[in-house]
Amino acid sequence: MQPEQQLALVGGNALIPEGPPLWPLPDESVQEALIAAFSDGSWGRYQGPHIERLEARLAEYHAVPFALTCCSGTFAVELALRAIKVNPGDEVILAGYDFSGNFRSIESIGARPVLVDIDPSTSSLDAAIVEDAIGLTTKAIVVSHLHGGIAAMRSLREIADRRGLQIVEDACQTPGGNVEGRMAGTWGDVGVLSFGGSKLLTAGRGGAIVTAGEDIHQRAKAYCEQGNNAFPLSELQAAVLLPQLDLLDARNGVRRQNAATLIECLRDSSGLSAINTMPPDSAASYFKLAWLFDENAWPIDRARFIAALQAEGVAIDIGFRGFTRRGPRRCRRAGDLTHSARAAERTVLLHHPVLLESPATIERVTETFKKVRRAFSEPNAE
Ligand SMILES: Cc1ncc(COP(=O)(O)O)c(C=O)c1O
């Protein structure tokens, strides 16, 4: 009998609860917001109170003067680049391992991505080598906080200020994260948020930028207002996001606690290393919890490891493909991209809903990881 078959007999799909999908949660406050928007008709209007309220709340929450909502996080990155005046022909520094849409957002402006390797302990741009990548036409840096890691924003900010560059800080995976005492998204000249269907704050689709720059906000607004507000978040989407913002800090707290437990319990699993190096005074939000899977230390490859855990009901998947195979026609490679390539090959990501589960479920998840390891190391053990 194959180890996968043995596992299925032992555990079944124990971690998949019966019923509706795990995310979004059926929050009463969201239901009330939906009903209220239905009752007052605001759900169907071009203009109403919710967008204005949400933008004010997002600005207040991030302690910046301006927030502007839009149709997606992907578009928000493009909007941010336009708002800081990245022009066709400019270069924009980006990690060799990042969300694929960020590469495209740079391209969509006619700018050119410059790939810099990641620091493997954070999954984000390696600030120590960014400066060497700056060329005559380099205008900006796009940096993402990924998979529960926190980018080295203080160093990046210092480099950008000294070299006259601007930063787009992608906090789509880290809303409410704390980066060296400041809200994630506020070290950049512009911060970017996503409200996509899987995200910690969700409206199915949607995004926003936050900024302290009045001129940046004005340019972004002017770009969006072409035609009849061409890239909007809807009033209904804003209505359901408002109550979620009130729940975010408490939920981030639970996710952090459970992520710390999982990281600790699996620390001794050789061949699985957590990506959780934090700068001081920082805390991530855990849209995903990441490990690097070292195939040399396992009797199976990453695909089989993931399939076995998924068969056990654990919501786990591979990470991004990264950009290390993109050719010189589309981007400039600044140095070696070894860690980015390794991240693309080895990252495994636990999806966030499980991080709001009970301690007993968290324990079952760690046991399932260990069980998979045992089943493949000693096929007759289970
Ligand atoms: C780091 C990062 N940036 C941007 C986005 C894009 O957000 P959206 O799905 O709202 O377009 C995502 C989505 O997963 C992301 O993970």
Q: Report domain extents, the chain.
A: 3-20+248-377, 28-245
Q: What span, in angstroms and rounded, lies between the C-alpha atoms of 86 and 84?
A: 6
Which residue in the block uniquely carries the two structure tokens 């930063």?
A: 167
* Region 28-245: CATH code: 3.40.640.10
Pull the structure tokens for residue 360. Answer: 């007993």
Q: Give the number of the atom of ligand 1 that is nearest the alpha carbon of residue 75.
A: 11
- Using the mean position of ligand 1's atoms as its centre, give its distance from the Cα of residue 172 in Å: 6
Predicted TM-score (pTM) of this structure: 0.94
The CATH-assigned architecture of domain 3-20+248-377 is Alpha-Beta Complex (3.90)
Residue 174 has pLDDT above 60, yes or no: yes
**Chain centroid offset of residue 7 CA:** 31
> Average pLDDT over the chain, rounded to whole?
93
Residue 12 has pLDDT above 60, yes or no: no
The model's confidence at residue 361, banded by pLDDT at 50, 70 and 90, is: very high
Q: What span, in angstroms and rounded, lies between the C-alpha atoms of 375 and 368?
A: 10
The model's confidence at residue 7, banded by pLDDT at 50, 70 and 90, is: very low
Pull the structure tokens for residue 194. Answer: 């996503």
Q: Give the number of the atom of ligand 1 that is nearest the alpha carbon of residue 77.
A: 4
**Who lines ligand 1 at CB under 6 A?**
72-74, 99, 101-102, 144, 146, 170, 172-173, 194, 196, 207
- Using the mean position of ligand 1's atoms as its centre, give its distance from the Cα of residue 100 in Å: 9
Pull the structure tokens for residue 233. Answer: 């978040």
Give the burial string for 306-343 (b: 16+ CB within 10 Å, else e): bebbebbbbbbebbbebbbeeeeeebebbeebebbbbb
Atom 9 in ligand 1: which residue has the minimum CA distance? 196
**For the chain, percent of residues with pLDDT exceeding 90:** 86
Give the Cα-Cα-Cα angle 137, 102, 25 (nearest 5 degrees).
Answer: 155
